[in-house]
Amino acid sequence: MSSGVAQTYRAAAGAAGPLVFIERTHAVSLGEWVRLEIPGEKRWQGQVIDAGERLTVVQLLDDSLGLAPDKVRVTFTGDVARATVGKELLGRAFNGVGAPIDGLAAPVGEAMRSLAGAPLNPAARLPPNDFIETGISAIDGMNTLVRGQKLPIFSGPGLPALEVAAHIVEWARAPKGEPFAVVFVGIGITARERRDFLERFEHSGALERSVLFINEMKDPTVERLLAPRLALGEAEFLAFECGLHVLVVIADVTHYCEALREIATARQEIPGRRGYPGTMYTDLASLFERAGIVRGREGSLTQIPVLTMPDDDLTHPIPDLTGYITEGQVVLSRELHRRGVFPPVDVLPSLSRLMNAGIGPERTVPEHRQWADQLYALYARGREARLMAAIVGEAGLVAPDRRALGFLEHFERDFIGQGRRRRTLAETIAAGWSLLDALPRDDLTRIRDETWARRHAPAAAP
C-alpha cells in the first residue's frame, strides 16, 4: 500500500505546535514516515496523521523550535514507521524514539516491526491461566496477577507507585522458573526518577533481563506517544517470537494521556471529557490490549501500567478509561502511606479480574478464593466498624464489629504492610490464616465447612 518511493517538497504551508501542514501532496499514505530539514540548520522526523490531495498533516516527533515553513524541505519516505526489535536489546536502555542512551551503538536487531501493531485475533488468544508471583501480599494473595493480564497501579501524586513498580520488577518470578524478561517504559519521568530507576536496575541485577525505554519530561511530547509502541513491539517480539514471559511496566500513563490531549488540541479535534480526546479509550486500548498469550506460542505478555490519578480522583477520565480496558487495578492509598504502611495498597477498590484463572488447586492453594473473600469481607466490615466507632465509640459496637475492628488493624499493619521484603506466596497465605485463626467460626462466613474442617482437623495429632 505504501509506495516505497520517497518524494520531497520544497516548503510547508504552515506549522502549529508539533504539526506541519503541506499543500498539494501526491500519493501520501496514512502513517507514512516523514523527514524534514532546513539544510545546514536542523532536522526533524514526523509521521503523516492526515493524508489528503489538498492538505496533508505531519506530526513531528521532535521539538518544532526553529521550524520555518517556507524554508523546510519535507521528504515523504514512502515507508511507514517501524521499530527495530531483537533479543540483543535486552540489557539496553533507549530513549522514546529508540536511540540508545547507554552510550553503546544502535542495535542491528533481528526484525523491523510496524509501530502501530496489529490487533491479536481473539480466537488466537489463550486465556491467561498461570499466576506470577510478585512478592507482594496485597497482590499475590488478594489480587493475583496472571500471565497475559494487564493490571495497572492507580496511584496519586506523592505516593510511591514507582517504588512499588520497581519492587515488582525485581521480585517478579514465573512460577516454574520459566525464562522471564522485563520491558520498562518511562513516559515523562523526571531526571531524578530516571537515575533512581537505572541504579536500582543495575544494583539488583534486573538490568540484564530488561529493556528500558525512557522518555523524560524534557523530551518532546510526541515521543511519549511513540515510546510505549516501540516498547510493546519489542515486548511482543520477545514474548511471541523468542518465547519469553515478558512483563511490561509503563510509567506514567497519565503523562501519555496528557500528551494525547496536547496533540489532539493542536489538531483542533473536538474535545471529550476534561479536554481529553474522544478517541482516548480506543487509543489506550491499542496499548493495553497488546497484553496476552497466543495459542501455540511459548511466551506471554503481561502489563503493569502505572498511572497517577489527578487529585486522587478514581473517576478522572484517565483512571476511568484505563479501568474499563484493563483487567482490574491495584489502588494505592494515601491514608495507608501516611501511616507508614508499605506497600500502601488499598485492597477494597483493588481488583484482579483474572484472579480466578490463576489461583486454586495446582496453581496456588485450593482454598485461595474463600481465603481471599473472607479477608475482604472482614476488612470491609472492619472499615465500616471503624467509621461507626469514630461516631459512637468502640463500646457502642456489637461484638462481631469489635472483632472486625481488631482484625482491620492487624490486617493493615502486618498483612498489607509487609515492608520492603519479598514474601513468597506460602508466606502470604500463612500470614492471612494467622489473622483468620484468631476469630470464631461464625465470623468466617466465606470459609466453607470442608475448608474449616480440614484446617481444624486433628490430623496433626498423633
Partner 1 sequence: MTTAPLRITRVNGSLVEAEPVLGVSLYELAAVGHGRLLSEVIRLSGATATLQVYEDTGGLAVGEPLAFTGRTLSVQLGPGLLGSILDGLGRPLNVLAERTGDFIGPGASVPTLDPTRRWRFQPTLAAGALVSGGDVLGTLEERPGFLHRVLVPPGVTGTVAELAAGEFTVDAPVGKLTDGTPLRLSHAWSVRTPRPTGRRLGDDRPLITGQRIFDLLFPVAEGGTVAVIGGFGTGKTVVEQSLAKHADADVVVYIGCGERGNEMSEVLGEFPKLTDPRSGRSIMDRTVMVVNTSNMPVVAREASVYLGITVAEYYRDMGYRVALMADSLSRWAEALREIGARLQEMPGEEGYPTYLASRLGAFYERAGRARLIGRPEREGAVTLISAVSPPGGDLSEPVSQATLRVAGSLWALDADLAHQRQFPAVDWETSYSLYVEHTRAWFEREVDPSWSAVRAQTLELLQRDAELREIAGLVGPEALQDEDRLVLLVARLVREVVLGQSAYHPHDASSAPLKTFRLAQLAERARSLAAERIRAGAPLAQLDLGPFRRTLIALRDAPGAELSTRVTAAEAALAGILPAEARP
Q: Which parts of 45-84 interact with partner 1 (CB under 8 A)? A: 50-54, 56, 80
Q: Compare residues 1 and 461 and give the one whose CB is closer to partner 1.
A: 1
- Of 297, 338, 413, 456, the one binding partner 1 by CB under 8 A: 297
Q: Compare residues 58 and 357 and give the one whose CB is closer to partner 1.
A: 357
What is the footprint of partner 1 within residues 366-425 (CB under 8 A)? 369, 373, 376-377, 380, 387-388, 391-393, 395-398, 401
- Of 6, 13, 101, 126, the one binding partner 1 by CB under 8 A: 126
What is the footprint of partner 1 within residues 340-369 (CB under 8 A)? 348-349, 351, 353-354, 356-357, 369
Give the count of residues interacting with partner 1 (CB under 8 A): 91
Q: Are 165 and 306 in contact (CB under 8 A)?
A: yes
- Of 41, 43, 125, 413, the one binding partner 1 by CB under 8 A: 125
Tell me the C-alpha distance between 397 and 405, whole Å: 10
**Residue 265 contacts partner 1 per CB under 8 A:** no
DSSP track, 378-424: HHHHHHHHHHHHHHH-GGGS-HHHHHHHHHHHHIIIIII---SS---
Tell me the C-alpha distance between 171 and 424, whole Å: 10
> Mask: binding to partner 1, 22-41, rule CB under 8 A, as x and -?
---xxxxxxxx---------
Give 142's contacts (C-beta < 8 A, 6+ positions apart).
347, 350, 372, 375, 376
* Cβ-based burial of 351 (10 A; exposed 0-12, middle 13-18, buried ≥19): middle
Q: Compare residues 270 and 461 and give the one whose CB is closer to partner 1.
A: 270
Q: Please, what is the Cα angle at 273 between 272 and 275, to 5 degrees?
A: 70
What is the footprint of partner 1 within residues 98-117 (CB under 8 A)? 114, 116-117
List the 153-155 sheet strands across, edge first. 93-95, 210-216, 180-189, 245-251, 300-308, 153-155, 328-332, 345-352
CB of 66 to partner 1, least distance (A): 28
**Residue 294 contacts partner 1 per CB under 8 A:** yes
**In Å, how far from its chain's centre is CA 358?**
19
> Mask: binding to partner 1, 316-345, rule CB under 8 A, as x and -?
xx--xx-xxx-xxx----------------
**Collapsed DSSP state (helix, strand, coil) of residue 258:** helix
> Mask: binding to partner 1, 188-227, rule CB under 8 A, as x and -?
----------------------------------------
**Residue 298 contacts partner 1 per CB under 8 A:** no
Phi-psi region of 345 (alpha: psi -120 to 50; beta: other; left: phi over 0): beta
